[in-house]
Amino acid sequence: MRARLIGPVLCVAGLALFVASGQRLGAASVAIYDRLPDRIDADARYVVYSHGLIVEGDDETPVSPEFGRYDFPAVKRALFEGGGFNLIAPHRPKDADYGQYVDALVSWVRQLLKAGVKPGRITLVGFSRGGQMTASASSRLAADGINTAILAICSKGDFVRDPPLILGGRLLSMYETSDSVGSCAGLAARGHLASFKEIAISTGKSHGAFFQPLPVWMGPLKEWIAAASTQASRTAAAPHYTTPRTAWGDPDLQGIYTNKYELNTPFERPKEFEGRRIDDVAVGELSEIVKQRQAAAVYRPDGPQAFMPFRDVFEIGKGSRPWLVIDPPDGHIPPLRPEAADRATPADASIFAVNERWPVTGSEAGGPFDKVEDFSLYDRCITRGVPGAMVPHVQGNSYQIVQAPGVVAIRYELIHDTRIIPLEPSPHVGAKIRLDMGDARGHWDGDTLVVESRNFKDRSTYRNAMAGTLRLVERFTRTAAGRIEWAVTVDDPSTWTRAWTFMVPLTANNGERIFEVACHEGNRAVEHMLEGARSAEHSRTN
């Protein structure tokens, strides 16, 4: 195949791509390039900056009638100076093809990875049109775990493409508060991110704030790039775990697991951690915290010891999480939409009643006790729903994952639920078919099992969400021989202002195999409570 260099563009079989080679403008160790350099240093860091639409063409400092001069050279210099990374900042030709430029970004990153550069040392940065291209490229590289910073690209919380973009790795979003574009929370919520940070600046310059290297955004951007690279390096330094395979080649997640160690872990970030993130909590600090939780819970009147005849062995001291909500980064469930305010689940809702339609009646609410339907699904031994069936409880915290070609099954000890999750590509069942645990479809994303569930019954929908719009996405990732990270993204645009995610670790525990929970078969409680209510009525009338 013949290739010819035309300015900064290489034409291969009619396809224009920005390619290796470039002008070296910096010091010997790191430099500014207008294309991917010929020689790649596997130990160096690389940042690719993609400018806005107005800069496309011959002029590197064009002037917008609305936003003023876009000083592309000054932005490059400011981003590069003191950053300690190689900066690749191509100047796109006029009317640059969107798809071809995205292809080029993807190609550059893959060449860097192939040369041995760690994913966490690669950052794509883009503003406006360049940011949109950056997001598209990052979506195609989601499984590689690179860093992405997008500046002023989202409208109404999202950047919509067909098919929808699914980002991975670490993501930073920045926007100016007087601009017509804003938060990228929706785009982030749809992704599978290691972390997400969003910064809103207020300069009164609208879109033009990013035309100049203003310290208000350039400083935080460079700080984030440095921090993301450092955090990724720490993660990469950890011993790499190779997921075993089944006889037919799928990642092997099979085994008996428990999550009882997180029984007393706060669901949302506690007040004592205000302003901190999970990554900020050191291992030693967390060790002391879980010891305190165990000691405090032992003496609580409603603590696990209150369920002595039934509960699991009390081992909160083995907990490994400061709290469970991992996205949003502040560790809190996002606000409800105004129209969903009357469906709010109480903050102190019992953990085994979160998959109930509130207000809950029955034993959890002191009645009424007029008919069987007055009792909760838990009272009636029907289900704890999804994800409630795998949320830590005072008893029955054993789970079994079983695999066969094309299918995964999960057994839940408490209430004896079993989910069958097909892996073969197939559409969800029709909207009129509703299930207490939803209709699940699974697929493999690398070594991670991704399960999407929808079509829930109204009576068992999680946290009073809307059954018709709720979508749950679970991700099961084996991170060590005896550990799976189970992350659940709750997405219901009719209930919350954005999607959110919590994570509970599952720990292998073959010593506590699943026992039969003959809950319904031995359930005399409902019968006795109905009898007691009738007896009380009789006493009042006589």
Instruction: Specify whether 219 is located in the same domain as 366.
Output: no
Phi, psi of 516 (to 5 degrees): -65, 130
User: Residue 134: what pLDDT?
Assistant: 96
Average pLDDT over residues 344-372: 66
Phi, psi of 481 (to 5 degrees): -60, -35
Instruction: Specify whether 348 is located in the same domain as 491.
Output: yes
The pLDDT-based confidence of 129 (bands split at 50, 70, 90) is very high
89: Cβ contacts below 8 Å, ≥ 6 apart: 32, 33, 34, 48, 49, 50, 51, 72, 76, 79
Average pLDDT over residues 188-200: 85
User: Residue 175: what pLDDT?
Assistant: 95
Full domain range(s) for residue 342: 255-260+325-508
Instruction: Specify whether 217 is located in the same domain as 340.
Output: no
H or E segment at 125?
A: strand 122-127
Give the model confidence (pLDDT) of 288-337 as tens digits: 877 777 766 654 444 444 444 444 455 766 778 889 998 888 899 999 99
User: Residue 188: what pLDDT?
Assistant: 86
Q: Pick from 345, 388, 381, 387: which is nearest to 363 by CA? A: 381
Give the model confidence (pLDDT) of 248-276 as tens digits: 999 999 999 998 888 878 889 988 888 88
Average pLDDT over residues 426-447: 91
User: Residue 222: what pLDDT?
Assistant: 92
**Mean pLDDT, the chain, integer:** 83
Domains in the chain: how many in total? Answer: 2
pLDDT of 1 over the 50 cut: no
Q: 277 lies in a domain?
A: no
- C-alpha span between 257 and 512 (Å, rounded): 8
CA 86 to chain centre: 29
**Lowest-pLDDT choice from 10-14, 113-117, 156-160, 504-508:** 10-14
The pLDDT-based confidence of 86 (bands split at 50, 70, 90) is very high
Render the burial of 473-483: b for 16+ CB within 10 Å, e for the rest.
bbbbbbeeeee
Pairing of the two strands 147-151 and 168-176 = parallel
Cis peptide before 329 (omega within 30 of 0): no
In terms of Cβ atoms closer than 10 Å to its own Cβ (0-12, 13-18, 19+), residue 425 is: exposed
Q: Kindly state the DSSP code that residue 415 receives in the 8-state scheme.
A: G
User: Residue 22: what pLDDT?
Assistant: 37
Task: Provide the CATH number for the domain around residue 90.
Answer: 3.40.50.1820
- The CB density around residue 424, as the number of other CB atoms within 10 Å, is 10
* Cα-only R_g, the chain: 27
- C-alpha span between 190 and 265 (Å, rounded): 26
Q: 473 lies in a domain?
A: yes
Average pLDDT over residues 441-450: 90
User: Residue 365: what pLDDT?
Assistant: 66
Instruction: Specify whether 352 is located in the same domain as 489.
Output: yes
Length of the chain: 542
**Lowest-pLDDT choice from 32-46, 131-145, 445-459, 527-541:** 527-541
Q: 517 lies in a domain?
A: no
Evaluate whether 506 touches 483 at the Cβ level (below 8 Å).
yes
pLDDT of 8 over the 70 cut: no
Q: 522 lies in a domain?
A: no
Inter-CA distances, 451 with 384, 448, 463, Å: 18, 10, 19
pLDDT of 25 over the 70 cut: no
Q: 117 lies in a domain?
A: yes
Instruction: Specify whether 363 is located in the same domain as 476.
Output: yes
Percent of the chain with pLDDT over 90: 46
Q: Is 438 left (phi over 0), alpha (psi -120 to 50) or beta?
A: left
465-469: list long-range contacts, CB under 8 Å, 24+ apart: 465/343, 465/490, 465/492, 465/494, 465/495, 465/496, 466/340, 466/492, 466/494, 466/495, 467/434, 468/431, 468/494, 469/493, 469/494, 469/495
Q: What angle separates helix 98-114 from helix 129-140, to the nearest 10 degrees?
A: 50
The first and second tokens of residue 532, run together, are 């007691």
pLDDT of 12 over the 90 cut: no
User: Residue 123: what pLDDT?
Assistant: 96
Instruction: Specify whether 220 is located in the same domain as 333.
Output: no
Average pLDDT over residues 391-396: 79
- C-alpha span between 459 and 356 (Å, rounded): 6
Pairing of the two strands 448-454 and 439-445 = antiparallel
Instruction: Specify whether 480 is located in the same domain as 337.
Output: yes
Instruction: Specify whether 151 is located in the same domain as 12.
Output: yes
Instruction: Specify whether 226 is located in the same domain as 338.
Output: no
Q: 270 lies in a domain?
A: no
**Lowest-pLDDT choice from 32-46, 151-165, 169-183, 458-472:** 151-165
The first and second tokens of residue 258, run together, are 């428990």
Its sign, for the CA torsion 51, 52, 58, 59, is negative
Instruction: Specify whether 233 is located in the same domain as 339.
Output: no
Report which listed range, 18-32, 44-58, 390-404, is most confident.
Answer: 44-58
Q: 279 lies in a domain?
A: no
Percent of the chain with pLDDT over 70: 84
Average pLDDT over residues 442-465: 91
Q: 296 lies in a domain?
A: no
User: Residue 433: what pLDDT?
Assistant: 94
User: Residue 422: what pLDDT?
Assistant: 96
DSSP 383-396: ---TTGGGS--SS-
pLDDT of 53 over the 90 cut: yes
pLDDT of 15 over the 50 cut: no
Phi, psi of 277 (to 5 degrees): -115, 165
The first and second tokens of residue 195, run together, are 């972390």
